[in-house]
Amino acid sequence: MHRQIFSFVIALCLCAHWAIASLTSTEIANALNELAQQGFAAKDLVLEINSTSDAGPLRDVYTEIDTIVTVVLTDISFITNTPVITEEAQEQVVYEGYSNFVQSLLELMDAFASSAGTLMSLDHVSKYKVPAEVRVLESAVDAYFYNIISLFPGNSSYNAQASNQKAQVDTHCYEAIWAFDLEEAGPGRGNGSVQARWLARGSV
Ligand SMILES: *[C@@H]1O[C@H](CO)[C@@H](O)[C@H](O)[C@H]1NC(C)=O
Ligand SMILES: *[C@@H]1O[C@H](CO)[C@@H](O)[C@H](O)[C@H]1NC(C)=O
Ligand SMILES: *[C@@H]1O[C@H](CO)[C@@H](O)[C@H](O)[C@H]1NC(C)=O
């Protein structure tokens, strides 16, 4: 009896291992495009809150971001087992999905940055909650993008372009965080701000 259960568990593990062995380029691209849809949906909600001054959907924005983070962290384990893509057409498919997700993140961060004042006046918690969400999202996406980029051959233009876009996402995330931090700190209190600390990092 116990032995049977044991064998069953081993079989399950083998199955799971088989499943995470690797992903096809189409599966990776589909995952990226679904993530992009979540990103665009979150952005639309932020813009809606900003224009209607109804903070209700803010909870949904956090939920969307948490979902993106969960999916991204799950996908990383699959992608680390996927070999470098050698076919140009497949690189193209993955790159298009990647660019799509990048674009949604850039727009989401810009929406946060330009709505920071409204969001904080509607809901005081957003002053801490949004930057915290953005930080978690940024670090999950950073690891995810790193793994996706490594699927492109090192000498391919996809690799170079994807690395460039990854850096842009980082910058826009910091700009979104600064927008909340600066509103809180106010002008002239630059030393306490994330921006000042981030800029100081280079000289420490
Ligand atoms: C959000 O609302 C503020 C104040 O009404 C406005 O200045 C800003 O441009 C809006 N942001 C977006 C992205 O529409
Ligand atoms: C990249 O390098 C591989 C082998 O090292 C070569 O076959 C391929 O043509 C190169 N691709 C580009 C875009 O330079
Ligand atoms: C920031 O801190 C430095 C010393 O660490 C000080 O010299 C400077 O005046 C401060 N700037 C502001 C705007 O408080």
Q: What is the tens place of the pLDDT at every residue in 44-81? A: 999 999 999 999 999 999 999 999 999 999 999 888 88
Helical H runs in 53-156? 58-79, 88-122, 126-149
Q: How far away, in angstroms, is 84 Cα from ligand 2 center?
A: 13
pTM of the complete model beyond 0.85: no
- Residue 155 C-alpha to ligand 2 middle, in angstroms? 6
Q: Is 195 in the pocket of ligand 1 (CB under 6 A)?
A: no
Distance CA 135, CA 35 (A): 17
Regarding the beta carbon of 155 and ligand 2, being less than 6 Å apart is answered yes
Q: From the CB of 111, is ligand 1 less than 6 Å away?
A: yes
DSSP 192: G
CA distance from start to end of the chain: 62
CA of 110 to the centre of ligand 3 (A): 29
Ligand 2 pocket test target in 86, 95, 155 with most atoms within 8 Å of CB? 155
Of 193, 168, 191, 63, the closest CA to residue 116 belongs to 193
87-127 tens-digit pLDDT: 999 999 999 999 999 999 999 999 999 999 999 999 999 99
Q: What is the mean pLDDT of residues 149-158?
A: 96
* Ligand 2 atom nearest residue 156's Cα: 13
- For position 78, what pLDDT does the model report? 87
CB 102 within 8 A of CB 168: yes
CA distance 101 to 36: 4
